[in-house]
Chains A and B, each alone.
Chain A
Amino acid sequence: MRPSRWGTVAIVAMVLTSAFPLYWAIVSSFTPEASLFVRPSLIPHVLVTEHYRALFTQRDFWVPIRNSLIVAGTTTVFCVVVGGLCAYALARLRFPGKVPLLGLILAVSVFPQISVVSPLYLLLRRLHLINTYPGLILPYLTFAMPLTVWLLVGFFRQLPAELEEAAMVDGASRLRTIREIIWPLALPGLAATAILTFVYSWNEFLFALSFTLGPERQTVPVAIALFRGQYQVPWGQILAAAVVATAPVALLVLAFQRRIVQGLTAGAVKG
């Protein structure tokens, strides 16, 4: 179909609306604190890097970045490996109890995080895991594991089953088929799933807020949300931190955009 005039207008409006808050945050993060709320102008006049320098010298923003990388990274690796095996079984093998299992995973993936905050808090407290990395990774599995399995089942279903069957007919064992036929084919899907799991874990807020006590184990979102100045809200530094927190996930998602869109919408179109 040819583009219509109104369609083009709508798309341009969406691109501009999507981009504006980010543009404004980036511009403002390079604007001196004193002129942030004085006659805002869309095109910056003076650019400074003081907020970024303050972020890493005064606030030690490396600590939440390190925490987020450790927690989100561990969660992702664990979920992709363990969830990958499970997803393969669900997508390809026949075994009793498969359908209820899929239902269970889907049910768990939609239940609200707040409904397990109280037991997880009591459990982690009893295990002395409040304010530790395992104390964040364990709760993160509640949403990351079902998400990973769900996405990977979608990806594995898209792979041609004929190749596997041919390999099996040729006498290759199931595990050898997995290693030599499925693994290379599944790699792009695994990568996209890993990125999505990482993004969800990187962005998570409620658990990280509930199960950490101080700056030494806070993740990036918690650190930014709890930014306080001595006398007033330090907007320049907050926006600099927002840009730093967004950059890794935005770059990851943009680099793999085509696959990620596939993964995100795969479930929807099948319904």
Chain B
Amino acid sequence: MTRPPLSAEHREARLGWWLAAPAVATILLVALFPLLWTVWESVHLHDLRMPWLGRPFIGLQNYLEAIGDARFREALGHTLIFTVATVTLELVLGCGLALAMNRAFRGRALVRAAVLVPWAIPTVVSALLWRFIFEGRSGIANALLSDLHLVRQPPVWFIQAGLAWVPVILADVWKTTPFVALLLLAGLQNIDASLYEAARIDGASAWRQFRYVTLPLLRPAILVALIFRTLDAFRVFDLVYVMTGGGPGTSTEPIALYTFNTLLQNLRFGYGSALSVIVFAVTFALALGYIRFLGAGLTETRA
């Protein structure tokens, strides 16, 4: 392509900014400005239940409180457990499914529907569906477990700290694995089929083909899915709020739910904002990876 003369280039630049301006202004106003406000709140004492205190500057005191706050540390731990468990399961299962879907077979449309529907339904709804399946002593999950003689006494899933995680993690894996499979499938379809042919001619087994052809070439797609899912799992809120409310006690409370409760139940806006900033900082560190791997494809200019 020949480069246009300078004046046209100027015009193009001006048009570009005019077209982008409304969206950019919106993003600055509704996202970036509030984010800075959160940081500002986080260094102030601001308790809506005690308006007479005003909003004095207290430096890093909110952050120091967070470090000493056992419930905060536990919430962070819960978030970590949830993130590691769901992301691992979803990637392993999603990879297997993508490999299966990559082969030619009939009924592709049906499979695509089965993939998309769990992803598209509201998280609140999927949380309720799984809560219902595991509800009480005689929900369908317990009926199934008893019929298969897997348990002697059907457990009550939502009153024991350890057990309550099972339906929560299951619900997330159910909802998201198909989506991960879809991302990985798109990556698989980009792999040149002649590479497999060459490997077969060289006598490589199916496992070795997977190990030395598929896996290295799928790495970008795996990384994207990994970072994407990690960020999503780290801010889990809807699922836990609806399924367990963070309970029993606070034993399934993730960091986003603790922050929400601090803000809108206890009305401690200064401290809640400090927690928000911490969640943001962790996510941002993870997102830097995301931008590096996904942004590379988008920011490179079209040839």
Contacts and interface: CB of A to CB of B under 8 A. Distances in A.
Interface string B207-247: 00000000000001101110000010011011001100000
**6 A-B pairs with least C-beta separation:** A270-B297, A95-B16, A86-B23, A119-B37, A265-B186, A7-B100
Contacts of B263: 117-118, 121, 210
B269 A111 contact: no
A218 B105 CA distance: 44
Interface of B: 1, 9, 12-17, 19-24, 26-27, 30-35, 37-38, 41, 96-97, 99-105, 109-118, 120-126, 128-130, 132-133, 135-136, 138-140, 143, 174, 177-179, 181-183, 185-187, 189-190, 220-221, 223-225, 231, 234-235, 237-238, 241-242, 256, 259-260, 263-264, 269, 272-273, 276-277, 279-280, 283-284, 287, 290-291, 293-299, 301-302
A11 B97 CA distance: 7
Contacts of A260: 116
Contact of B120 (A199, A265, A268): A199
A141 B104 CA distance: 40
B187 A268 contact: yes
A48 interface: no
Interface string A188-208: 000000000001001101100
Chain A, interface size category, equals 35 or more
Contacts of B259: 114, 117
A258 B108 CA distance: 11
A225 B113 contact: no
A142 B194 CA distance: 44
A214 to B, nearest CB: 15
B41 to A, nearest CB: 6
A8 B124 CA distance: 31
Contacts of B21: 86
Contacts of A97: 17
Given A93-B16, A271-B220, A116 B117 contact: no
Nearest to A265: B186
B260 A206 contact: yes
A222 B259 CA distance: 18
A18 B182 contact: no
Nearest to A178: B19
A129 to B, nearest CB: 12
A161 B302 contact: yes
Contacts of A104: 24, 27, 32
A166 to B, nearest CB: 12
Contact of B26 (A90, A145, A220, A222): A145
Given A111-B284, A224-B128, A141 B26 contact: yes
B128 A238 contact: yes
A114 B256 contact: yes
Interface string A90-101: 100111111101
B174 A40 contact: no
Given A85-B23, A149-B23, A205-B237, A235 B135 contact: yes
A89 interface: yes
B235 A113 contact: yes
A231 interface: no
B17 A95 contact: yes
Contacts of A120: 34
Given A104-B27, A108-B31, A205 B234 contact: no
B110 A15 contact: yes
A71 interface: no
Contact of A94 (B12, B135, B276): B12
Interface in A232-271: 235, 238-239, 242, 245-246, 249-250, 252-254, 257-258, 260-261, 264-265, 267-271
Nearest to A141: B30
Nearest to B258: A114
A186 interface: no
Given A114-B235, A145-B30, A264-B182, A119 B41 contact: yes
Contacts of B129: 21-22, 24-25, 239, 242
Contacts of B301: 94
A104 B299 CA distance: 12
Nearest to B185: A265
A108 B32 contact: yes
A119 B187 CA distance: 39
A98 B120 CA distance: 32
Contact of B116 (A105, A203, A210, A253): A253
Contacts of A165: 1
Contacts of A39: 138, 143
Given A3-B103, A40-B140, 18 more contacts: A14-B178, A17-B174, A18-B118, A40-B139, A40-B143, A94-B12, A110-B287, A112-B235, A118-B263, A118-B269, A123-B34, A141-B30, A145-B23, A203-B124, A221-B124, A242-B128, A249-B120, A268-B186
11 contacts: A1-B104, A4-B100, A11-B111, A94-B12, A115-B276, A121-B263, A210-B260, A257-B109, A267-B297, A268-B224, A269-B190
Contacts of B113: 254, 257
A38 B136 CA distance: 11
Given A107-B287, A119-B38, A82 B23 contact: yes
